[in-house]
Structure 1
Amino acid sequence: MLSAAQDIQGLLNVFSGGATFYPGDTITFTFENGTKLSDRYLAIYNDPGPTGPLETGGDFYNFFVLGFYPASFDPNQSDDTNNSSASSSAVPSTLTAAATSTATSSASPTPLSWNNTAYPDTPDVAQADLGTYGGGYVSGYFLNSTSTSVLSIPSFDEYGDAVNTFQSTIGQFITKSKAAGLRKVVIDLQQNVGGQSLLAIDAFKQFFPNIDPFVGSRMRAHPSANVMGKTMTGYWDSLNDTDDDYYFLAANAWVATDRINANTGRNFSSWAEFFGPNLYNGDNFTNTQRYNLSSFIFDVAAIGNEDVAFAVYGYGANPAPPNAAPPYAAEDIIILSDGICDSSCALFMEMMHHEAGVRVVVAGGKPSTGPMQAPSGSRGSRSYATYVLDANIDFIQLLLADQNSPEVNFLPNRTQALDVDVTFASINLFDQVRKGETIPLQFAYEAADCRIFYTPQTAYNYTALWQYAADAIWNKPNLCVQGSTGFATTGTNKTNFVGPPSGTPGTFSNLTTHLSTLNTSSIPHLTSLNDGITADFRPRNAGTSNVKSCNGPSDCSDGFLCSTVNTCQGGKVGPSSQCLPKCFVSLAPCRNGGKCQLQSAAGAAVGSQQLQQGFCAPAANTQKCGTGTTPGQVNVGPPPPAKMR
């Protein structure tokens, strides 16, 4: 739905192209007085690569379902004929006309705020390059009148230099908040759908340096996983720490011996020790592993860019001071969520809520009383893209072929496994499990300590919302929705796999009257609403085939932007201008293995939202520029590129 925390990231809401599944032909709104209003859904194409001339129903089906261009169309050709046909079916003309400037990472001055009316005009702490078109996410605000500071983290999805500025900004926030004498902290995670697991752990450690979080995970144990794991782990164990692949593969999902056995506290000695298997409820699973965060090599590989020196705070190369104490007690911190919290966000909330004892406030939900979960998305430990899986299989098959192993064909041909075109797909490779438990957290009921409703005074005034959440925990518990408290497991070893009693929720006879009685905040608010891990093994040189260099917009066909990005050239990293696919949805996965990097406003709106536009940045690469592309001591060719079906 409408959310400023969503707007600042350039994400689309469900009424503007952000729906995950087909919702049916129409939507019907039922108002409080019983009046109904129905409207039809409109489909949009928000992946504006070239489509060719889609003139018949067969053309449409062939392109969107099977992934075939019209026979007369060459997507790599940039002549005027292709340009005109491509633009006719991809995006509105207003968007095509707006996309004429060369994209560069430093095209505009570093912003100092989100420039969104829901947020205060000027943050007291801001990450470098903060903004929809920048690499910064973290901002901090001081509510001096109530001695409360607010740390806003709408995403953990950072790459490159932004990884370190993310880390340092949280440290600056804590330092400045303490120096200002502010006694309470609100951590706002609205619309945070995850990102880098190590950044979530680092943020937790900066607040609680005295706690070593468990962060346990395991995978399903089956024959194919066993072949992949024993092959990759065996290869990694054979390398010297001077080999490029030793660093490149340190965070690979199929390497076990640089992970910690949760049962012993020591590194696994082999893949077999990790693999198990263990039988739970009729299924086989591996033993539980923990990250070896004291390993700088693992930290750098897990972040996904070997040119970025990063170490998690409190471990190894980035130790906390001896006997470091938390800057704030757990009872003086709350987390605010809108229920949109999964992946690394759910991991961060698990550590803060379950291990440290921080209380959680969740906002929104159905117009009924009762509790609500805060981390309502995936609580898996590792998202795993299918193109990454393909690259791993290719690499492992090269190793098996070099060994003349009969297991080289242990999986079917993936290029013929599907009957539809898949732009992007991912799976949850690892479960997240608590210490001493066997049921994945995905199946736990994680109720917040308190649930609140958005009101006209707080929906687009986050200063009021933050104070409302703070008041509900520390000053006015009656602000919590009736029946929403008492279901959380904060700071305990209890896990709820059942959920609240079925009779807990209730309904309001008049929601408007209920909201009007709420004293939402002592702070003035706006008078109107605004309408306004993934530590992946990536294929080497991913997305570099058929890349066209450019000097300006005229060199690129429609559906592409002339964009300046850092690439490996002659063994050195440097800027290069390339024709890269256009995109509209921030951080959306692209066919080249990268993610959408927004650059500017698109000059058009869909539903209630102004569209942004940008380019599909090439996939991040953990390999150091200048190194080879073949597995060490294996005399075979390089792994083929990932298959982007």
Structure 2
Amino acid sequence: MRTIAALQLLSAAKLIAAISFPPLAALAQAQGDTTTAAPIQAFYTAPPNSSTSASSTQTVNINAATPTGTVTAPRTVTYTQTNYTPNPSVFSTACAEISSSYASRLSVYSSRASTDSTVIYPTRVPVRPREAWDCLYSIPINRELTLEFISGVSKYLQFQSTIEYLKNPPANSLQEPVDIIGSLEELAEQVRSGDIAHHIRFEVAFRKLLQRCHDGHLGLSFNSNSLIAFRGPFSLISISPDAIEKPKVYVETDLLEFGLDAAYVTKIDGYDVEAWIAEFADYGSSQSPDARYNDVFANRDPGSDGTFYTLYGWYPGKNTISLTYSNSSTHQYDYLAYARWNSALNWDGIRTGEDFYENIVLNPAYFQVSSSSQEGTVNRPAPEPKDPGALYHVHKHSDKKAKRQMRTGIATTTTSALRSAPTQDLPQLVYFNEPYMRHRVGPYVQDLNGIIGGYFLNDTLDTAVLDISSFSAADDDAEFEIEGFQAALTTFFAEASRRGSKKLVIDVRGNGGGLIALGFELYKQLFPAAAARSYYRIRTHEGAQIFATAAEALASDEATKDLVELIERIGLENINGDDTPEALEVALAINSGFSRQNTLDINAKTPKDLKTWIGPYTIDGLVNDTVSLLVENNFNFPLQGSDISGFGSRSEFANNPKPFEKEDILLLSDGTCASTCTIFAELLKREQAGISTVVMGGRPNDGPSAHVGGTHGSRVLTYANLLRNSRRVVQLYPPETEAQEEYLVENIPLALPFGFTYAAINFRDSIRPEDETATPLQFALEPADCRLYFSPIGFTDSVYLWGELSKLKWGTGSEFEGCAVGGLQKGEGSTGFVPDDPEVVEIVNYILQPMKTPA
């Protein structure tokens, strides 16, 4: 293997430019060349519908049986027949009409704002779905740049830890085989041949390819998603009358108004409702099909409208959807669409599809790494913080679930000396009996950012409840997340001891992850004396080996020692890119994920050298791939700038008694537990065997269901992270010859031609060291002990649900007669594998039917 050490320290302006700027006019300018990009060629064809359009408004009746008989509930429905044939004039005017609507709406608010300082500008304007799709469909395709994107993005995707496993997934994983690189090659061929002749068709096909991998850490959102959003007409919910009987599908507003007497949905667009939803849900990000099924529906804890409403952001291929109800009535409803904008991307200057391409598709507003000392961010054009202990603040994403999962990848610092200096002016970290999120009663205790709520159900077996729907704050700009979380937990457990509470329900429904430190912190406060071992590895293809070599060159044992001494002398807060640039580079290299310096092997030793850490080691068995040494976090180093309880400045915490016995803890989930949440759940399962688990909802098949169904990946890396590593490589080892330059171009990520608001891969696989096959936990779906469906009151009232689960597990008198599957008596668990999806129909005119990912 050729290593980076063979490259000589000479000029590499061409390569640095390709890393630092989007490769278009900016790349030419960086090289002193005023040549512009080639003209953009447009190839227009009709969207995926034909014939004529018509619309009408009528009042329809939905019959709902009530305890006193049958009543007729009026509902006004405007429906538009969906088939139409656009013409060139439609393509030339659609974007202009949306832009005009946008300008008109803002002018109204600007006028109000001149006299009223409290006016809040809207962030979206309703538009017709057909018009929105016409605008997107009119965006021209530039074959050359699209092929450049496909070639370039493949080098990012090579860092995806499961790329070889996805090609040949383990049995019982319920993951269909997905050849990411092979599918990219097929997409490239479709672009070359003209089969994909519109830019939006390529975007959707690429996104669908990644979504088929069912990995919440793997994804890319193009800029177009920030300008136009498609929505369903309303939300659906899945409800069982008693949490045990198979659930029915209801329109949310119908159920809330009429209860179980409301007519339920039996068909969607003429197809069996369960089959339609099963196929629709297959684009969800969770590994568990039951978790994906849950995602389709609205939820109260945490609040969610469901993907039936959000549509994954796609145009549904038509303008209306029909629902058939249990009373045999069938009704059509309009899909919705909105023109959106934000501070970085808006509709100014967009009149045509060509304008959209130039201003939005090629806009790097969220993702640009300059050749200066500042390094890029994702989803914010702000410079990277100078403090290496605060690096995690740049890893943000506007979508809440993606943000939580994304922040699982937050970097660790270097040694115990790299702890943030104590803050003298801490705000109030803990609040008592304050309103909290979505429950009818406020918690006894919560942290200042509302990450956790602690409750005491004194009328139910002295049960305490921790409600944790995320391991990060909802506010992107939140501060003191770790400090507040630690303080609230400590306060809550102390109060539980004072009250004599012996039982604990931990509710992680909807928890998509967040800060790694908080997952470990919760586990250590529950079990202070226990080890917190969470093992991982990375994929060590050629690009990873190059980055690891560069990280070792920067963060050698000697350089790390010097950094520690410097921080002890001047303090962490004074390590920055202006006064101590070399020290900052060492800290960033250690935080990159490719360094061995803050890891421990299974013998609790730091890998002795680069070869020991990076290998590469060959996987025997299911796949043909190479990986790193199996390691864990070294908690003698702070995690995300703070010490975990039991280590460093909080080492005395290990002497505290555990607040609850493991047999008195119940973990409640809806299967969507992902990222940091899976790290915490895995610690409970592996280190504290016997803790009971309950999972809610899922497919109506009465089979076992996984309580942890989201991505088990233990660190995400954004494209900005990876591009940053490429820049360091070229700065350290600029190529001397064309052959050396070609070697780097073929193996490390460079800037991409299209802008995007979020792009990341799963970098680390969680592995159980006792597993002889060393299979990533992403492919393990393990049933919960008890499965229940959502009942009406369980859906609307979490406090009620917690109390009934407590009585079911530890007492008597629960309104739940048992579990739909499995049981909670004496630790009894459900047996068998999570079942496969039932066969689903091929849905005609299904979401973007002509844009399916190549097989």
TM-score bracket for the superposition, by shorter chain length: 0.5 to 0.7
Distance 1:14 1:111, change over 3 A: farther
Cα pair 1:446 1:489 within 8 Å, conserved: no
Aligned to 1:371: 704
SS in 1 for 2:794: coil
Pair 1:154-2:469 in alignment: yes
Greater fraction helix: 2
Aligned to 2:446: 126
Aligned AA (2:683): M
SS in 2 for 1:425: strand
Looking at CA atoms only, which structure, 1 or 2, has the larger radius of gyration?
Answer: 2
Per-residue deviation, 1:401:
3.2
Pair 1:44-2:334 in alignment: no
Aligned AA (2:781): Y
Aligned to 1:458: 794
Cα distance in 2, alignment partners of residues 473 and 270 from structure 1: 50
Per-residue deviation, 1:295:
1.8
Aligned to 1:172: 491
Pair 1:360-2:697 in alignment: no
Aligned to 1:388: 721
Aligned to 2:349: 53
Cα pair 1:224 1:411 within 8 Å, conserved: no
SS in 2 for 1:314: coil
SS in 1 for 2:517: helix
Pair 1:473-2:809 in alignment: yes
Cα distance in 1, alignment partners of residues 490 and 828 from structure 2: 25
Per-residue deviation, 1:192:
1.1
Could you list the per-position Cα deviations for residues 312-336 of structure 1 after superposition, in whole angstroms to 9, with x for gaps in the alignment? 1112331145654422111101111
Worse-superposed segment, 431-440 or 231-240: 231-240
Cα pair 1:208 1:356 within 8 Å, conserved: no
1:283-322 equivalent positions in 2, closer than 5 A = 283-296=625-638, 299=639, 303=640, 310-321=642-653
Distance 1:126 1:68, change over 3 A: closer
Cα pair 1:261 1:268 within 8 Å, conserved: yes
Could you list the per-position Cα deviations for residues 468-514 of structure 1 after superposition, in whole angstroms to 9, with x for gaps in the alignment? 3323333469644433459x99999xxx9x933569x99xxxxxxxx
Cα pair 2:600 2:606 within 8 Å, conserved: yes
Cα distance in 2, alignment partners of residues 34 and 484 from structure 1: 35
Cα distance in 1, alignment partners of residues 324 and 699 from structure 2: 13
Aligned to 1:529: none
Could you list the per-position Cα deviations for residues 517-560 of structure 1 after superposition, in whole angstroms to 9, with x for gaps in the alignment? xxxxxxxxxxxxxxxxxxxxxxxxxxxxxxxxxxxxxxxxxxxx
Cα pair 2:645 2:654 within 8 Å, conserved: no
Could you list the per-position Cα deviations for residues 260-286 of structure 1 after superposition, in whole angstroms to 9, with x for gaps in the alignment? 112x32001122101122222211111
2:618 to 279, 283, 292: 279
**Relative contact order higher in (CA < 8 Å, ≥ 6 apart):** 2
Per-residue deviation, 1:53:
3.2
Worse-superposed segment, 444-453 or 366-375: 366-375
Cα distance in 2, alignment partners of residues 490 and 419 from structure 1: 55
Cα pair 1:354 1:491 within 8 Å, conserved: no
Cα distance in 1, alignment partners of residues 787 and 736 from structure 2: 58
Distance 1:420 1:36, change over 3 A: farther
Structure 1: gaps of 5 or more residues = 70-104, 129-134, 507-645
Aligned to 1:142: 456
Cα distance in 1, alignment partners of residues 804 and 615 from structure 2: 49
Distance 1:415 1:53, change over 3 A: farther
SS in 1 for 2:660: coil
Per-residue deviation, 1:293:
0.6
Aligned to 1:440: 776
Could you list the per-position Cα deviations for residues 355-405 of structure 1 after superposition, in whole angstroms to 9, with x for gaps in the alignment? 213221111112331221122211101011111111122123212239999
Structure 2: gaps of 5 or more residues = 1-296, 366-425, 567-582, 840-855
Cα distance in 2, alignment partners of residues 111 and 470 from structure 1: 23
Distance 1:276 1:414, change over 3 A: closer
Aligned to 1:482: 820
Could you list the per-position Cα deviations for residues 15-53 of structure 1 after superposition, in whole angstroms to 9, with x for gaps in the alignment? 554736665545554544554444343233555232313
1:22-421 equivalent positions in 2, closer than 5 A = 24-25=317-318, 27-33=321-327, 35-48=329-342, 49-67=345-363, 113-114=434-435, 116=437, 118-128=438-448, 135-146=449-460, 147-158=462-473, 160-237=479-556, 238-239=558-559, 240=562, 241=564, 242=566, 243-262=583-602, 264-280=603-619, 281-296=623-638, 299=639, 303=640, 310-321=642-653, 324-357=656-689, 358-401=691-734, 410-412=744-746, 418=752, 420-421=754-755
SS in 1 for 2:459: helix
SS in 1 for 2:336: coil
Could you list the per-position Cα deviations for residues 287-316 of structure 1 after superposition, in whole angstroms to 9, with x for gaps in the alignment? 1110001123xx2xxx2xx5xxx1011123
Cα pair 2:528 2:654 within 8 Å, conserved: no
Per-residue deviation, 1:223:
1.3
Per-residue deviation, 1:114:
4.2
Aligned AA (1:236): A
SS in 1 for 2:494: helix
Percent identity among equivalent residues? 26
Per-residue deviation, 1:4:
3.1
Cα distance in 2, alignment partners of residues 318 and 290 from structure 1: 20
Cα distance in 2, alignment partners of residues 490 and 402 from structure 1: 62
Cα distance in 2, alignment partners of residues 120 and 350 from structure 1: 31
Distance 1:245 1:387, change over 3 A: closer
Distance 1:36 1:383, change over 3 A: farther
Cα pair 2:681 2:708 within 8 Å, conserved: yes
SS in 1 for 2:464: strand
With normalisation by structure 2, the TM-score equals 0.47
Cα pair 1:380 1:442 within 8 Å, conserved: yes
Worse-superposed segment, 397-406 or 143-152: 397-406
Count of residues in Structure 1 that have an aligned counterpart in Structure 2 = 443
Aligned AA (2:629): N
Cα distance in 2, alignment partners of residues 165 and 181 from structure 1: 24
Distance 1:368 1:465, change over 3 A: same
Distance 1:403 1:321, change over 3 A: farther
Pair 1:2-2:298 in alignment: yes
Distance 1:393 1:313, change over 3 A: same
SS in 2 for 1:182: coil
Distance 1:457 1:206, change over 3 A: same
Aligned AA (2:776): P
RMSD between superposed Cα atoms in Å: 3.7
Could you list the per-position Cα deviations for residues 105-160 of structure 1 after superposition, in whole angstroms to 9, with x for gaps in the alignment? 99xx98963455x41433111112xxxxxx33111111101111111111112564
Cα pair 1:12 1:18 within 8 Å, conserved: no
Could you list the per-position Cα deviations for residues 200-241 of structure 1 after superposition, in whole angstroms to 9, with x for gaps in the alignment? 011101101232122111111111111110211231114112
Aligned AA (1:52): D
Aligned to 2:307: 14
With normalisation by structure 1, the TM-score equals 0.62
Cα pair 2:554 2:586 within 8 Å, conserved: no
Cα distance in 1, alignment partners of residues 432 and 657 from structure 2: 34
Worse-superposed segment, 370-379 or 475-484: 475-484
SS in 2 for 1:423: strand
Cα distance in 2, alignment partners of residues 382 and 227 from structure 1: 19
